[in-house]
Each structure stands twice: as structure tokens, then as C-alpha cells.
């Protein structure tokens, strides 16, 4: 861990697993090292480091890990209302790390390849004909 302490990373592991629970062939975030992904990502931005360290410390101060899963979920729902910026960044980084992970991409059936040239079939035809009315209208913008 670059930024997060052991207690903060343990708390974050529980939180990300509550945000995206393991389901079927989809792994839980802690199974695919999303906590390490988040730690690495926030370590490059001092403002995010402070936001996460303070937010997780605040959650740890409330004995979050001693609560039952239902109590943890209830606590996080209330905490989200009073700490919107922390929660927004937490969700953004959790989802970014999770849905770009190769295991998850494969599990949801994506190939991971760009859509062209081997991806989607393009409709054949003269698509430039669709632009004729635009060309006939002429320039309707100002040159800089």
C-alpha cells in the first residue's frame, strides 16, 4: 500500500464489496485487488489522498468493521448523505477499477477489442448521400 494504512485498506475492502457484491461469475472487488487499484490511483493526487484517508479514518472511528453487514449498509447510506464528495470519489474509483479489470470484462462478455476494424458491422451504402442537404445549405458558421 502506498497511501492507505492497514486499517483503512481493510475498511475499504469491506466497503467496495458492499458496493459491488460477488455475483455468479463476477468476482468481488476485493478478490481482484480493487483496494490496491484505488490506493495506487489516489496516491498520485494529494487532494484525493487526503479525502480518502480522512473519510476512511472517520468511518473507522465509528467501529465500522464491528457492525453487521446490514448495519454497515445502513451506516454507509447515512454517511453518504453527509460526505457526498468522499462517496462520489469512492464510487467512481471503485467502478473504474472494477469494470476495467480483465476478469470482469471477460465475465460480462466483452471482448476488450475496439469496435473497429474487427468489431461491429458497418451498414453498406453511400452514407455521404445523407449529407447532401447539409452541403446544399452551405456554410452557416463564422470563420474564426
Residue 94 covered by a domain: yes
> Over the stretch 36-81, which tens digit does the pLDDT of each residue have?
999 999 999 999 999 999 999 999 999 999 999 999 999 999 999 9
Quote the number of domains for the chain.
1
Residue 130 covered by a domain: no
Residue 85 covered by a domain: yes
Max Cα–Cα distance, the chain, nearest Å: 70
> Are the C-beta atoms of 16 and 37 separated by less than 8 Å?
no
> Over the stretch 95-123, which tens digit does the pLDDT of each residue have?
999 999 989 988 888 876 666 666 666 66
Read off the DSSP letter of residue 64. Answer: G
pTM of the model: 0.76
Residue 85: which domain range?
6-113
Q: What cell does 28 get?
A: 468481488
Task: Kindly give the residue spans of alpha helices, DSSP state H, lying in the chain.
Answer: 6-19, 34-42, 46-61, 69-82, 84-99, 102-107, 132-137
Amino acid at each position: 500500500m502506498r497511501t492507505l494504512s492497514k486499517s483503512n485498506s481493510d475498511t475499504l475492502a469491506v466497503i467496495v464489496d458492499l458496493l459491488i457484491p460477488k455475483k455468479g461469475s463476477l468476482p468481488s472487488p476485493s478478490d481482484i485487488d480493487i483496494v490496491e487499484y484505488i490506493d495506487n490511483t489516489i496516491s498520485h493526487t494529494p487532494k484525493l489522498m487526503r479525502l480518502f484517508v480522512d473519510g476512511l479514518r472517520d468511518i473507522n472511528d465509528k467501529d465500522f468493521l464491528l457492525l453487521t453487514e446490514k448495519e454497515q449498509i445502513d451506516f454507509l447510506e447515512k454517511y453518504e448523505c453527509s460526505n457526498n464528495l468522499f462517496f462520489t470519489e469512492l464510487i467512481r474509483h471503485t467502478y473504474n477499477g472494477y469494470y476495467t479489470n480483465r476478469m470482469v470484462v471477460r465475465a460480462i462478455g466483452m471482448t476488450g477489442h475496439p469496435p473497429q476494424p474487427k468489431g461491429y458491422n458497418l451498414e453498406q451504402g453511400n452514407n455521404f448521400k445523407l449529407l447532401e442537404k447539409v452541403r446544399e445549405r452551405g456554410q452557416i458558421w463564422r470563420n474564426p
